[in-house]
C-alpha cells in the first residue's frame, strides 16, 4: 500500500480537484493507496471537505488539529497514522502533480529509501525562488546531502525510516538529511511544478529564511554531534580557554617587565587585553561545563536506544524489528 500524506492549512478549494487527480493517478497505474489529509488548524471549510471525501471513499482519512501546530507536526501525525509500506507526501495547493507519484515509486525501486522532488522550473515569485536556491546550496555544503530542492513538499519514503527519524520544530525539510545520517539512501527526481490556482503561499518571507538557517544549525549539530556533544562544545571551550590563558601569560610577562621599566607598558587596568583574556577564560569554562552537562543528558536519554540502524539480518526476515526509535 502507498500512503499519501497531505498536510494543509486553509485549502478548501484545492482539496476536491487534488483528490480527483490522486484517484485518477492510482487508477491509471493500478496503485493500492490511502489518502491521509492532516488539517493543521484551518479556519476555512477544509475539514468539512475532508469529512465529506472520507464518507464517499474509504481510502480517505483525515486528522484535524485543534490549532496550527506547524507542518512538521502535521507530517508526524500523518506518518504515525499511515499504514503503507511507502509514504508519499505532497502539498495540498495543487502545485505538486499527483501524476508524478509512479515516477517516485520507480526511482525507489532502484534501491533508494528517500526520493525528493526537484522543481527544476518553478512558478513562484523570484523573492521566494532566490532565497530557496541559496538555502539549498548551503544545506548541501553543510550537511553533504546535495539535493536541489530540500524544501520540496513532494517526497517519498520507506515507512521504516520514521521508526528511527523523529520530527519536531520545523525539521520536516531536513528529513532526507536526518535519514542520510542514519544510513538510508537518498536521491531525487525532477518534477513538474504548477502555478498556484487558489489561496496564497504559507511559507514566504525573511522569517522563513532565518528559521531555516537556525534549523540547519540544529540539524548539523544533531547529525554530527548528537551523540557526542562534548566533542564540539568541549573543543570550542578548550580553544577559548587556551586563548585566555595565553593572554593572561602575556599580560603577566608585561607586568613583570613594567616592574623594572615603568614606562614600557600601560598599567593592567588600562589595557583592553585584560578584559578579552578574562572573557575568553570564562567562555571556555562555560562551554566545557555545558559540554559535560550535555554528555550527562545524552548518556541518560540514550540508555535504551541504539545509535545505529540495521538494514538486514540473517536471524530474521523482517529487519525492521531491529530498528529502535531514536533521534539522530
Distance CA 110, CA 49 (A): 37
Distance CA 101, CA 176 (A): 18
Distance CA 264, CA 267 (A): 10
The runs of H, that is alpha helices, within the chain are: 15-28, 46-56, 71-81, 101-108, 126-143, 175-181, 206-225, 229-260, 272-301
Residues 7-52: tens digit of each pLDDT: 999 999 999 999 999 999 999 999 999 999 999 999 999 999 999 9
Task: Tell me: pLDDT of 223 over 80.
Answer: no
In the prediction, which pLDDT does 263 show? 81
SS3 content of the chain, % helix, strand, coil (to 5): 50, 10, 35
**Joined grid coordinates for residue 16:** 476536491
Beta carbons within 10 angstroms of residue 50's beta carbon: 27
Q: What is the DSSP string of 254-272?
A: HHHHHHH-TTSS--GGG-H
Residues 46-90: tens digit of each pLDDT: 999 999 999 999 999 999 999 999 888 999 999 999 999 999 999
CA geometry: angle 250, 253, 258, nearest 5 deg: 125
Closest CA to 40 of 202, 190, 167, 185: 202
In the prediction, which pLDDT does 202 show? 57
The average pLDDT across 221-247 equals 84
One of 2.40.30.170, 3.90.550.10, 3.40.50.300, 3.40.710.10 is the CATH number of 2-225, namely: 3.90.550.10
| Domain range list for the chain | 2-225, 229-301
Between 4-13, 112-121, 164-173, 255-264, the lowest mean confidence (pLDDT) is in 164-173
In the prediction, which pLDDT does 192 show? 87
* Mean pLDDT score across all residues of the chain: 84
In the prediction, which pLDDT does 322 show? 40
Amino acid at each position: 500500500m502507498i500512503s499519501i500524506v497531505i498536510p494543509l492549512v486553509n485549502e478548501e478549494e484545492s482539496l476536491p480537484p487534488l483528490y480527483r487527480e490522486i484517484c485518477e493517478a492510482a487508477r491509471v497505474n493500478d496503485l493500492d493507496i490511502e489518502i491521509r489529509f492532516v488539517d493543521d488548524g484551518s479556519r476555512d471549510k477544509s475539514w468539512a471537505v475532508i469529512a465529506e471525501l472520507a464518507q464517499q471513499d474509504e481510502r480517505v482519512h483525515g486528522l484535524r488539529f485543534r490549532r496550527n501546530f506547524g507542518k512538521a507536526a502535521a507530517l508526524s501525525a500523518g506518518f504515525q497514522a499511515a499504514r503503507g509500506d511507502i509514504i508519499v507526501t505532497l502539498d495540498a495547493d495543487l502545485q505538486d502533480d499527483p501524476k508524478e507519484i509512479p515516477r517516485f515509486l520507480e526511482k525507489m525501486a532502484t534501491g533508494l529509501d528517500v526520493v525528493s522532488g526537484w522543481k527544476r522550473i518553478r512558478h513562484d515569485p523570484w523573492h521566494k525562488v532566490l532565497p530557496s536556491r541559496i538555502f539549498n546550496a548551503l544545506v548541501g555544503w553543510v550537511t553533504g546531502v546535495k539535493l536541489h530542492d530540500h524544501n520540496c513538499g513532494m517526497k517519498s519514503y520507506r515507512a521504516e525510516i520514521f521508526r528511527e527519524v523523529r520530527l519536531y520544530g520545523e525539521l520536516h525539510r531536513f528529513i532526507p538529511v536526518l535519514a542520510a545520517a542514519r544510513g538510508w539512501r537518498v536521491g531525487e527526481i525532477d518534477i513538474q511544478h504548477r502555478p498556484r490556482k487558489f489561496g496564497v503561499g504559507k511559507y514566504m518571507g525573511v522569517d522563513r529564511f532565518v528559521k531555516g538557517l537556525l534549523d540547519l544549525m540544529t540539524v548539523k549539530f544533531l547529525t554530527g554531534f548528537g551523540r557526542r556533544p562534548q566533542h564540539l562544545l568541549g573543543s570550542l571551550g578548550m580553544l577559548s580557554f587556551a586563548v585566555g590563558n595565553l593572554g593572561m601569560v602575556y599580560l603577566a610577562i608585561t607586568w613583570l617587565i613594567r616592574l623594572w621599566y615603568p614606562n614600557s607598558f600601560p598599567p593592567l587596568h588600562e589595557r583592553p587585553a585584560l578584559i578579552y583574556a578574562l572573557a575568553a577564560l570564562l567562555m571556555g569554562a562555560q562551554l566545557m561545563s555545558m559540554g559535560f552537562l550535555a554528555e550527562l543528558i545524552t548518556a541518560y536519554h540514550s540508555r535504551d536506544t541504539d545509535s545505529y540502524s540495521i538494514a538486514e539480518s540473517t536471524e530474521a526476515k523482517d529487519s525492521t524489528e531491529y530498528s529502535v526509535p531514536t533521534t539522530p
